[in-house]
Structure 1
Amino acid sequence: MHIHWFPGHMAKARRVISEHLKLIDVVIELLDARIPESSANPMIQEIVGDKPRVIAFNKADLADSRHTEQWMARFKEQGLPVAAIEAVSGKGLKQLIQYVEQAAAEKLAKWEAKGIKSRPVRAMVLGIPNVGKSSLINRLLGTATVKTANRPGVTRGQQWIKIGNRLELLDTPGVLWPKMDDQAVAFKLAVTGAVKDDVYDYDTVLKQLVDFLRQEYPGRLIERFSLTEIPADNQALLGLIGAKRGCLKSGGLVDYEKAGKILLQEFRNGKLGKITLDFLL
């Protein structure tokens, strides 16, 4: 499977980020808690440089908490403050804002020592597409004023958004690297919806998802689809899922494509339970 996706607006986004960094006190890097390594854009460190950075693991409600704790410990070992959040519900946002204010405290203290009037902390929200940047800002605002959608490539412009009296956020487009050499990473981005569904081979991604679930989370499949056991091959497994969900063609044959789409969708929306795809070695 080869996925190469770098639309023109993302190349422009990199330039926009670089141009606005001089106005920024803190960078908030938003990662998908299910794929905290795969959703970490290797370009961001290069672009951000020595700006203070705070990590937010979004969609923590969809991720396996055991792995989330391990990944958070890894980031903290690197000196990066990290908060597990749920942008839609607002869980964890208070801690995230505290980390942002702490990261900017030294700079603001220097300003105050020079007699410069205090101002809100200015932060930039960065992350790959569909990781939840606009949902995060909407939750902080308490109103859906930023355009959002559960698909990549919606947020293309940039805008300053005031959050209370102490924080201003710059929303920017998501940024993906120009070439995804590691196709294991590409699979994880595809299956979680970070890249558009029309830029990868669906059958290949579905096969890899089924293989992963069979190996790492078989109990979730048994529980969700009321199975007695996991069949020996993927086709038989999809056949059982299709039969359980009434995915039948004329003549009573299973519609395997429809069964596969149900499995993918239920993985993405968390109905299979809390699942993490990135494991620490």
Structure 2
Amino acid sequence: MAALMASARARVQDFEGEEDDLEDEEEEWGGFEDGDAGEQPTSLPARKDSSRKAFDKVFKQVVDAADVVLYVLDARDPEGTRSKEVEHSVMAAEGGNKRLILILNKIDLVPPPVLKAWLVHLRRYFPTIPLRASGPAPNAKTFDHKQLTVKGTSETLFKALKSYAQSKSLKRSISVGVIGYPNVGKSSVINALTSRLGNRSGACPVGAEAGVTTSLREVKLDNKLKLLDSPGIVFPSSGDKAAKAEEQARLVLLNAIPPKEIADPAAAVDLLLKRLSASLDMYQKLLDVYSIPPLPTYGDVTTAFLVEVARKRGRLGKGGVPNLYSAAQTVITDWRDGRIQGWMDAPVLPVAPAVSATSAVNGDEVPPTGDQKEIVKEWAAEFKLEGLWGDDAADETDAMVS
């Protein structure tokens, strides 16, 4: 684990371009936010170093303490909210005795065929459960997945965790760590589980802005289960200036950076337009959100789009000049809350890499020589997931999203 954390720190040093100051090892958590693990806008005070050290500390605490790790992913961009480093860290911990389950959250924001494809893909690696941890934001564009309701999916997850706890027959309670990018719904997952036990007040604070969970929290479900809620995980990528700018825009679209710390929301809107323009249907739906006529296909399309948004939403400055920054923030908010439809399609792979203990420790990429079916099957049996939204057999998946 120490080697993995050292490797992660090395990546961050490359990303930031400067050595991390390690003088205050015992510093307090004050000011730590979920989005701090990524690169911060240059126009704001730098808090990257202390936040990264704080993240390393709490992430290690979660992995060390947890018997089961729930890795929460955003259904609109599962791969974008997934880190191989995190998976390797969990798999390598305690001689490979930890259990990892992928939680595909916000499923109501993607259509059934997209959900089905992602479940098939992700279940090649780890057991995966679809989840609706909370209701949609106002005016969000959602899809009906029938029995995959907030109540139904949270009960499924709870039963799976209880089955695992009972199978271990331990005298102590089972610890379940909840990890994931900022704003993927980690705290909502915990609240969905506690709500089914009659806790209506909510065990964890939730919000649409990154940075709601700022420290490690422990929530007791019953005498056999306790949950650990942690701040968001962001592993920044090293690269040249252009690559860093694109990474920053990607993190904004994931809502992994608090709005007040977004230096250039227009760059994120530009990336969003590029993604949605790959589908004529999605691109047209975006224009329909703001009642915008077809945009020119030449010149600065992003600026032209933001000018129209500013006019439609009244984001104007003195003399009626469009406020492009405010318009871009509006688009980012609408995207975050699901009022703009969009998603990433699952990759079509004939096979998936198996994760061996050696590759997990070294962080090596394993060639895709075969599905990781054995480990998925074994862990699914421990959680009694077969036929309970945990089996990727065609008939089960079809029944789930038809």
Q: TM-score, normalised by structure 2?
A: 0.59
* Amino acid across the alignment from 1:234: T
Q: Does 1:176 align with 2:234?
A: yes
Counting only pairs closer than 5 Å after superposition, residues 150-169 of structure 1 correspond to structure 2 as 150-169=208-227
8 Å contact from structure 2 (residues 249, 265) kept in 1: no
Match in the other structure for 2:347: 280
Residue deviations 1:30-79 (CA, integer Å, cap 9, x gap): 1111221111123312321221111111222233543332221111122x
Structure 1 residues 225 and 22, CA, compared in 2 at 3 Å: closer, same or farther?
Answer: closer
Q: Which residue of 82, 95, 99 corresponds with 2:156?
A: 95
SS in 1 for 2:231: coil
Corresponding residue SS for 2:123: helix
Aligned twin of 2:287: 222
- Go from structure 1 to structure 2 and tell me whether the alpha carbon gap of 1:186 and 1:243 turns closer, same or farther (over 3 Å shift): closer
Q: 3-state DSSP class of the match of 2:80?
A: coil
Show the 5 A alignment for 1:195-234.
Answer: 195-197=257-259, 198=261, 200-216=263-279, 217-232=282-297, 233-234=301-302
Secondary structure of 1:152's partner?
A: coil
Q: Decide whether aligned partners of structure 1 residues 201 and 256 sit closer, same or farther in structure 2, where only a CA change above 3 A counts.
A: closer
Q: Structure 1, unaligned stretches of length 5 or more?
A: none
CA displacement, residues 140-179 of structure 1 (integer Å, 9 cap, x when unaligned): 2232232333322332322321114542111222222254
Distance 1:65 1:157, change over 3 A: same
What does residue 309 of structure 2 align with?
241
Q: Give the aligned partner of residue 126 of structure 1.
A: 179
C-alpha separation in 2, matches of 1:68 and 1:46: 25
Alignment partners' CA distance in 2, 1:259 and 1:19: 41
- Is 2:179–2:230's contact at 8 Å kept on the other side of the alignment? yes
Is contact 2:104–2:131 with CA below 8 Å preserved after alignment? yes
Q: Which one-letter code corresponds to 1:254 in the other structure?
A: P
Residue in 2 aligned with 1:24?
A: 66
How far apart, in 1, do the equivalents of 2:256 and 2:344 lie? 14
How many angstroms does 1:238 deviate by?
Answer: 2.5
User: Shift of the alpha carbon at 1:194?
Assistant: 0.7
Change (3 A) 1:97 1:180: farther
* Residue-pair matches, total: 270
Structure 2: where are the runs of 5+ without partners? 1-15, 17-37, 41-47, 136-149, 196-200, 349-402
Task: For 1:76 and 1:157, locate their aligned partners in 2 and report how far apart those are by CA, in whole Å.
Answer: 30
CA distance in 2, matches of 1:278, 1:9: 33
SS in 2 for 1:130: coil
Deviation at 1:279, TM superposition (A): 4.9
TM-score (norm 1): 0.81
State the identity as a percent: 25
Q: Which residues of 2 match residues 57-136 of structure 1 at below 5 A?
A: 57-78=104-125, 80-89=126-135, 90-91=150-151, 92-102=153-163, 104=164, 108-109=166-167, 111-112=168-169, 117=171, 119-136=172-189
Note the C-alpha offset of 1:128: 1.8
Separation in 2, partners of 1:7, 1:36: 27
Task: Give the alignment's Cα RMSD to 1 decimal.
Answer: 2.9
Measure how far apart 1:270 and its partner are: 0.9
Matched, 1:4 2:72: no
The letter for the 2-side match of 1:157 is S
Rate the CA distance shift 1:272–1:159 in 2: closer, same or farther, 3 A: closer
